[in-house]
Amino acid sequence: MTSPDSDRVHVNVASVAGAYTVGDPAFFRYIVRLAEHDLILNGADREALAVLASIPHAFEADEEVPFVSGRGWRVVPAANDLDSPVLEATPQRLRTAFESARRILWTHALRFRVSAREIATIEEELDKVYGVLLRAEAAGVAVSVSYVA
């Protein structure tokens, strides 16, 4: 599913209205990369997880990041060597994607063997991410998301 380095992944959620870095591996494994699990989902859930699955690695120099987009989001490749690729989205679109991932995870938590500690940590991290999204929405600005290992 994820690389062995997933225990050291940090997910950066940022806008001009504020930022937060999630450092918990459970968040990356069970929220950002939830689409990598073998799940049967409806169209809206698949679309929501596709948004999160499109979050690029910020410093993946050897891999070309394609320009992909969907309703309310797009992946913006690095413009130059000093830049990094990001997922850019409306705060509302990201909130919907995170809420869908959360609901899907809790529906299948037993199957994924998510521990009580991981559940608590994911909930805390989502609350902090939602705070960033609320500030961005209030400011009327887009949010950028990437991860680094």
6-10, 18-22, 70-74: range with lowest mean pLDDT: 6-10
- Does residue 85 surpass a pLDDT of 50? yes
- Does residue 95 surpass a pLDDT of 90? yes
pLDDT tens digit sequence for 108-143: 888 889 999 999 999 999 999 999 999 999 999 999
Are 77 and 131 in contact by the 8 Å Cβ rule? The answer is no
More reliable by pLDDT, 26 or 77: 26
Domain extent, residue 90, equals 4-148
The number of folded domains in the chain is 1
Separation between Cα atoms, residue 119 and residue 104, nearest integer Å: 13
pTM: 0.89
Separation between Cα atoms, residue 116 and residue 96, nearest integer Å: 24
3-state SS class at 61: coil
3-state SS class at 94: helix
Separation between Cα atoms, residue 6 and residue 81, nearest integer Å: 24
